[in-house]
Structure formats: C-alpha cells, structure tokens
Amino acid sequence: MTTAVVTITRDRDAHLHRQRRGLAAAPPDLHVIVGMGAAPRLDDVPGAPATSTLLLPVHRGGLPLAAARNLGAAAALGAGADLLVFLDVDCIPDPRLLPRYAAAAAATPEPALLCGPVAHLPPPPPGGYPDGGLAALAPPHPARPAPPDGEIVADDRFALFWSLSFAVTARTWSALGGFCEEYRGYGGEDTDFAETAAARGAGLYWVGGADAYHQHHAAARTDPARIAEIVRNARLFRHRWGWWPMEGWLTELAAAGAVTFDPAAGVLALRTAPPPALRTPTRGLPGR
C-alpha cells in the first residue's frame, strides 16, 4: 500500500521541521506539504521521506484550509497513493502511526474515516521536545477514544472527528469528494467533512497505536482575528446541516463577550467591539 502524508502549513516552519523528524523514524512513500500563501522552509532532515511542496494563494477571508487539503490530496493521488494520511503541521507522529493506519485501512470496510489518538503536549522544555518518549509527556485528549495499541474501535459520534490526524483510502476520498471549499479560515470544515462522510454511509474508527503528539501553541480560538472566521463558518455549517458546530467554542466566546450566541433562537452574531484578548479556556469537551 502506497502511503502519502498530507500536511498544510502557514508560518509553522519549526513545528513542520519537528514533524518531518518524526516521519523520518517511519517514513511514508511521499510527504505532500501545502504552503498557504508562503512556501515553507525545509531544512535537511536525515531519513525524511520524499517531499512534494505546493503553494496555494491566500485571498481575503482567512486561510483556505479546506482547499489546501484538497490540493494536497490531489497531488498525492496523482503520485499513486493508496492511503492518504492527513497530519496537522503541529503534530509529531509516533513511529507506529503510519503502520497502524495502514493495518486499519486493510481491516475496515470502505468508506471509512480512520482517526488516531492525539495528545496535546505541554510547552517544550529547554532545547525543545525530545525525539522519543513523547507519550510520557501527555496523555491522549480525554474527550476522544484512545484504544490500546492494535485495537480498532467503531464509533457513530461523527462530531468527534477532527483533522489533526486521520487517514482515508483513495477510494474513500473519492467517495466523499474532499472538503467543502466554501469554508475559509478557522473552524467547522472538518466537522462538515465528517457530516458528509456520515451522510454517505462511511464508518468512523479510532485506531489504537496511531498516536500523534500535538506541539504546544496558544488556542487559536482565543485569537480575536479568528473570531469572525469561526462565526462565518459556524453559520455556513448550520445552513448546510441544520445544527451548530463548535458549540462549546461559541459558548466560550459568548461568555467572553466576543459574540452573541443563542442556539435555540438560531442567533449567532459577532459583537461590534470584541475584547482585545480572550482568556485561554481550560481543556474539556471540545465544541467541534
């Protein structure tokens, strides 16, 4: 099975470098990197996989996350990939991640979304994160299943899907049609992708051992520049699917005075003068 990792990025060169070092421990056949608005810097990484770098222009309205993933997938499929593994630029893969995804792809009926556990790392120590032993620094996110290594757990809670780390076969990608490119900027496009998968009869599976370690950074939803994007994308999602995504996030933003949110009344509006900074929320059940 020919495997391609797809990573989209913007101004995350240091995080991307650590991801590439992680992939060197168990490399895929191809690593497709899509730079949004700027080409990423690729320093030498011994043992890193063959790399294809693409550039996608950025226009008004936020980063084209959905379009960038679609572009990366098209390039991977054009290179003959049978399995597409989407890995957020902030994620460092465990050496078992790719072989566990490949085994799950062979063991589950198509179409299927395959999701691995993700642990959110604390801020890096002096000298940066170590090349090994990341599992000891943080447990997997508590709001999502984390099966034991080698186990595959079916789930019907498609709202738990996230794009930090997931895999699909070429056949599943074709059946789902990729991400909806009406979404621009932060939030909602991955939940939309999962709803499309559910509507088309796909299965959702959590893959034990396909772990990824998310490098620390400030929560994007606390950035005032992202709030308008979240509001616009949440409205688009509700128009397409009839319910509010990211409800936990929207509730947090409403409590902070950044938005007006009344889900029962169907009201979501950006406040005219949002606060200059928002408190970073504690971790809990995500709203996505």
Confidence band for 286, pLDDT divided at 50, 70 and 90: very low
Round to the nearest angstrom and report the end-to-end CA distance of the chain.
32
What is the structure's pLDDT at 273? 61
Compute the residue count for the chain.
288
Q: What is the pLDDT of residues 68-125, one digit of tens each?
A: 999 999 999 999 999 999 999 999 999 999 999 999 999 999 999 999 999 999 999 8
Full set of structural domains in the chain with CATH: 3-214 (3.90.550.10), 220-270 (no CATH)
pLDDT recorded at residue 222: 64
More confident residue, 75 or 286: 75
Alpha carbons 31 and 51: distance in angstroms, whole number: 5
pLDDT band at 283 (very low <50, low <70, confident <90, very high): very low
Per-residue pLDDT band at 221 (split at 50, 70, 90): low
Provide the pLDDT for residue 225. Answer: 77
Tens-digit pLDDT profile for residues 87-97: 999 999 999 99
Q: What are phi and psi of 123, to 5 degrees?
A: -55, 145
More confident residue, 186 or 31: 31
Average pLDDT over residues 177-188: 96
113 CB contacts (<8 Å, ≥6 apart)? Answer: 158, 161, 166, 168, 172, 194, 197, 202, 203, 204, 205
Average pLDDT, rounded, for the chain: 92
Looking at residue 114, its amino acid is L
Rounded to an integer, the average pLDDT of 10-38 is: 97
Place of tokens 């005219």: 272
Query: 76: closest CA among 97, 104, 51?
Result: 51
Find the farthest-apart pair of alpha carbons in the chain and give their distance in angstroms, rounded.
56
Whole-number Å distance between alpha carbons of 123 and 228: 28
CA distances from 119 to 93, 145, 230 (A): 11, 12, 24
Mean pLDDT to the nearest integer, 12-35: 97
What is the share, in percent, of the chain residues with pLDDT greater than 70? 93
pLDDT at 280: 45
pLDDT at 272: 72
Closest Cα partner for 101 from 37, 164, 40, 152? 152
pLDDT band at 59 (very low <50, low <70, confident <90, very high): confident
Contacts of 168 (CB under 8 A, 6+ apart): 83, 84, 86, 111, 112, 113, 114, 176
